[in-house]
Structure 1
Amino acid sequence: MAFIGRDDDLRFLHDSYEDQRAQLIVLYGRRRIGKTETLSHFAHGKPTLFFSAQTGTRQEQLTEFSRRMFEEGAPAGKYLRQYPDWQTALGDLTDLPEPANGRRRLVIIDEFPYLVRSDPSLSSILQNLWDHKLRHSNLMIVLCGSAMSFMEKELLSEKAPLYGRATGIMKMTPMPYWDAIRFFPGYSDEDKALAYSILGGVPQYLATFDPERGLGDNVKRYILRRGSALYSEPEILMREEFREPAKYSTIIRAIALGDTRLNDIATHTLIPVTALGFYLSSLIEVGIVEREFPVTAKPAEHTKGTRGIYRLADDYFSFWYTFVYPNRSALDSGDVDGVWEENMRPMLHDYASRAFERMCAAWLMRESLQGMLPFRVNRIGRWWDRTDEMDVVALDRTGLKAIAGECKFRSAPMDPSMLDLLRTRAAKLKPQELQLMLFSLSGFTEKLSRIASEDENVRLVELREMLTPKAQ
């Protein structure tokens, strides 16, 4: 399959490469997010030393790095079997043969945390080399890693040796839905949205599905079948990321079941509130959980530990804990068709409604960036108070201009009653300017379409419009 998406990430890397100064780029993101594939695509056609670190001892790491350096023509290969230490090995980067036509050499060290774990002094060694030698070279060095906490604490925090040395820092996040659906060019618009609601924007998950197979067939074959690629993926990922995967799994399960407030999660999991914050922060750091506030919430509210709600930010984790986890016994016994037909397919549209809301919010932000909205959006998200809620609200910098939206991923068209309800709820925002938007999978009734055509402050958006490719 051809490489898909990542236009902004590749543009950032390209601009760094074209910069006249030496570059030290830190690129990180959760596992399966597509870091290595993106770097490989970026490196194509460039003089590159690409070193993929593995778990191992310091000596094993040095042996493999030395081999790659000597393959690239490092002069030390003529008289050394391998470098004696990292100081010599990394310092020798400036002695690699000069690329033709004055081009810059690209050095990519993938899974850099593996190297530091085998030799904790490595970050300090690299910092010293950068300060005195490497920053004066014609190199672009990319340090890549999947261990999120390590990358943020050991490389980017104020106490880290390399703090302030990076010329660029990029945290890779899941693909936006308009790139994710490109993995399924033959699907209907509805099935594209459903596939996204299941897999999210993680390239490795998206590439697992066969675009020539129908949605249900893919789910049964690659998710529900014991031993398939995605059957145990969340469990594997948590064992790689966390020391207490069972506790994290219990927390995720509670949130998936609807316990979204701190005290409710504590009650469900039997984990004290005082300890729960640490686990939730770790899940947020990895991108599995997000803490959500009403879009109108003041910054001070975000600092209060008991405010806001917790939602699953990772679509596949949400799907897995909603459908796979509670049906493991039946799936382990091989009842794939029964679980799909009775426990999944009838509820799939209701499940997808949350992902559809996020798609609508992302579409609004994209429209804003392209100057297609009445104002430039500053904040966007859900809104709620004690009695009402709105699926998506976009505000300008002052908060006086607003777009309020209702999102329905249902088989029936939206009717005027939904517009009336949205209008009533949006009035609570008390904006000076207000536009109402209705987003629908199945279109709108004739009466609602007529009302919208006569009111410039009402806009109707169908799924096919949201999926139409636009210039980025």
Structure 2
Amino acid sequence: MSKRVVATKPEHLFDRAVEWDGLVSFASRRARTAQLGIVSGRRRMGKTYLLRALVERCGGFYFGATTATGAESLRQFGAAVAEFTGAEVPISFGNWDHAMAYLFGLAARDRADAPMLVVIDEFPYLVKAVPELPSLVQREVDRYQTESSGIRMLLCGSAMSVMGGLLASNAPLRGRAQLELVVRPFGYRDAAEFWDVAADPALAVRLYAVLGGTPAYRRQFLADDVPATLDDFDPWMCRTVLSPLSPLFREARYLLAEEAEIRDTALYHSVLAAVAQGNNTRGGIAGYIGRKSVDISHPLTVLEDCHLLAREQDVFRAGKSVYRITEPLITFYEAVMRPAWARLESGQAQQVWARSKERFAAQVAGPHFEAMCREFMLGDGIEMLGPDAEFGDVGCGVVTDPVARKQVQIDVAVTHSGDGGRKAAVSLIGEAKWGVTMGVNHLDRLDRARELLAGSGWDVSNCRLACFSGAGFSDALRQRADKDPNVLLVGLAELYGRQ
């Protein structure tokens, strides 16, 4: 057993500074009572990599569960405890009740005055085989609130529906955790640095639109096969994501199949395909798959619980919302790969990709670029609104034009709720175009939307108009922006902080 907590983040651990500091703080906490933490996140985010590094630095007990029966898992657990304690003979537990009591007792007996880190990874595997396990953990945590214990237990898992339920409603562990950490994908800037493509924003956007910020894809799946230049992107796509010889080829299917709550995968793939093709409202999804809206409530809820689908509120229309796929590889699979699956399996990656460029731009890169622009406004983009700009809600929405009988889609909006007699305000509305050189017509549409918002009661006195483009801006639009400080032009250089 290691005795000393070393807080320095290992050099091989890319980014994750906030997560690392939070875990080290938890592991070294000097409280004399049992402490519980929950670590979750979608698969391939590097949770195990992070926790193993933590155990190496801080010392402690690590157990990685596998898909097994409760009895087999108990034997594996006993072997791991024996190795940790240095026992000369294997430790055999009669049941999980005894196992948890022994582990907590070990921390109370040997480490009552010093933290003892305990990590149980892939906890959902154990819960599936031993449903009473959360209750057993709860009993021990409660017991060592009145007795001294140095245990710092981290329960980790990727099945988001299971991990989210550990602390929900009347679950046994509700109110017992002192740490709840979700390990998320890298943001688009961090992902570009991770893939060593930050110097080429056009390549970085394309790569991020396909693989997102999932760290495992680079080293574990592709063995550091990274597109060298933008010209190499197409060949790279054909030899990796679209190749039946690549581990990434079936990854999108596995991501769905691995979720415990998903049984009818055909229905869930249809729901995701509907969203990937632009049918992102409840009614649109139901119409696409030929069901009534009420019939898709359950699959939508399950996909949200699994963090594969997110519902985003319309910032201008109360009660209206749209759905967005959170995993880029699933969007790419549903839009590009699934319709041509038989051809891809037969090795026709080049032919399929050549015929999919427009679909990729419209259904994958375009929506993903819009999400990146909103992420930008949540970060450095706020500086574009001035040094005194207030933080606001960032989202998207629709502005209805009753005169023209049409709707204006706002891809990026920064809004502020009204309070203290102050009207709700809009400080920015923007349009994002991935493959289109934006012109004055795009700005005029935003100007009209601003007028409509003013007419419906919003305060737009400080509202700027923003054009986000991956292909550039016309000379006429640049001239307008030069003359009007309330017009903002944001290209790839600005998005990646390279201006």
When the two structures are superposed, what TM-score results if normalisation uses the length of structure 2?
Answer: 0.84
Corresponding residue SS for 1:108: strand
CA distance in 1, matches of 2:130, 2:84: 24
CA distance in 1, matches of 2:342, 2:45: 30
Mark the CA change 1:222 to 1:79 in structure 2 (over 3 Å): closer, same or farther. Answer: closer
1:197-346 to 2 correspondence within 5 Å? 197-207=209-219, 208-209=221-222, 210-211=225-226, 213=228, 214-241=232-259, 242-298=262-318, 301=319, 307-341=320-354, 343-346=355-358
Match of 1:381 in 2: 395
Match of 2:15 in 1: 5
User: Gaps (5+ residues) in structure 1?
Assistant: 302-306
Mark the CA change 1:293 to 1:125 in structure 2 (over 3 Å): closer, same or farther. Answer: closer
Mark the CA change 1:82 to 1:288 in structure 2 (over 3 Å): closer, same or farther. Answer: same
- After superposition, the CA RMSD in angstroms is 2.7
Asked if residue 91 in structure 1 is aligned to residue 122 in structure 2, the reply is: no
Q: CA deviation at 1:469?
A: 7.8
Q: Which amino acid aligns with 1:230?
A: L
Q: What is the aligned-residue identity percentage?
A: 28
Q: For the Cα contact (< 8 Å) 1:410–1:440, is it kept in 2?
A: yes
Q: Of 483, 490, 495, which residue of structure 2 is paired with 1:454?
A: 483
Match of 2:430 in 1: 405
Mark the CA change 1:269 to 1:401 in structure 2 (over 3 Å): closer, same or farther. Answer: closer
Match of 1:156 in 2: 167
Q: For the Cα contact (< 8 Å) 2:397–2:411, is it kept in 1?
A: yes
Mark the CA change 1:230 to 1:224 in structure 2 (over 3 Å): closer, same or farther. Answer: same
Q: Which amino acid aligns with 2:244?
A: R
Match of 1:34 in 2: 46
CA distance in 2, matches of 1:192, 1:41: 28
Match of 1:304 in 2: none
Corresponding residue SS for 1:436: strand
When the two structures are superposed, what TM-score results if normalisation uses the length of structure 1?
Answer: 0.88
Q: CA deviation at 1:448?
A: 3.0
Q: For the Cα contact (< 8 Å) 1:375–1:396, is it kept in 2?
A: no
Q: Which amino acid aligns with 2:164?
A: E
Q: For the Cα contact (< 8 Å) 1:377–1:397, is it kept in 2?
A: no
CA distance in 1, matches of 2:346, 2:426: 55
CA distance in 2, matches of 1:362, 1:147: 25
CA distance in 2, matches of 1:222, 1:447: 41
Q: Which amino acid aligns with 2:180?
A: I
Q: CA deviation at 1:2?
A: 4.1
Q: For the Cα contact (< 8 Å) 2:316–2:397, is it kept in 1?
A: yes
Match of 1:180 in 2: 191
More moved, 359-368 vs 259-268: 259-268
1:283-331 per-residue CA deviation (whole Å, 9 max, x = no partner) reads 1111222223321233xx2xxxxx4333323211111111001111221
CA distance in 1, matches of 2:36, 2:152: 6
Q: Which amino acid aligns with 1:390?
A: I
Mark the CA change 1:349 to 1:7 in structure 2 (over 3 Å): closer, same or farther. Answer: farther
1:116-173 per-residue CA deviation (whole Å, 9 max, x = no partner) reads 22222222211111111277322221101122222222x1122211111111212333
Asked if residue 423 in structure 1 is aligned to residue 434 in structure 2, the reply is: no
Match of 2:144 in 1: 133
Mark the CA change 1:43 to 1:465 in structure 2 (over 3 Å): closer, same or farther. Answer: farther
1:402-442 per-residue CA deviation (whole Å, 9 max, x = no partner) reads 21112222263x33332222222223222232112222223
Q: Which amino acid aligns with 1:466?
A: L
Q: Of 107, 127, 130, which residue of structure 1 is paired with 2:118?
A: 107
Q: Which amino acid aligns with 2:315?
A: V
Asked if residue 68 in structure 1 is aligned to residue 80 in structure 2, the reply is: yes
User: Gaps (5+ residues) in structure 2?
Assistant: 1-10, 401-406, 419-423, 455-459
Q: For the Cα contact (< 8 Å) 1:292–1:309, is it kept in 2?
A: yes
More moved, 111-120 vs 446-455: 446-455
Q: For the Cα contact (< 8 Å) 1:368–1:375, is it kept in 2?
A: no
Q: Which amino acid aligns with 1:323?
A: V
More moved, 271-280 vs 365-374: 365-374
Q: For the Cα contact (< 8 Å) 1:178–1:469, is it kept in 2?
A: no
Paired residues in the alignment total 456
Q: Of 48, 55, 63, which residue of structure 2 is paired with 1:43?
A: 55
CA distance in 2, matches of 1:448, 1:385: 23
Corresponding residue SS for 1:389: strand
More helix by proportion, 1 or 2? 1
CA distance in 1, matches of 2:384, 2:52: 33
Q: For the Cα contact (< 8 Å) 2:35–2:141, is it kept in 1?
A: no
Match of 1:438 in 2: 467
Mark the CA change 1:250 to 1:215 in structure 2 (over 3 Å): closer, same or farther. Answer: same
Corresponding residue SS for 2:240: helix
More moved, 46-55 vs 363-372: 363-372
Asked if residue 359 in structure 1 is aligned to residue 388 in structure 2, the reply is: no
Q: CA deviation at 1:78?
A: 5.2
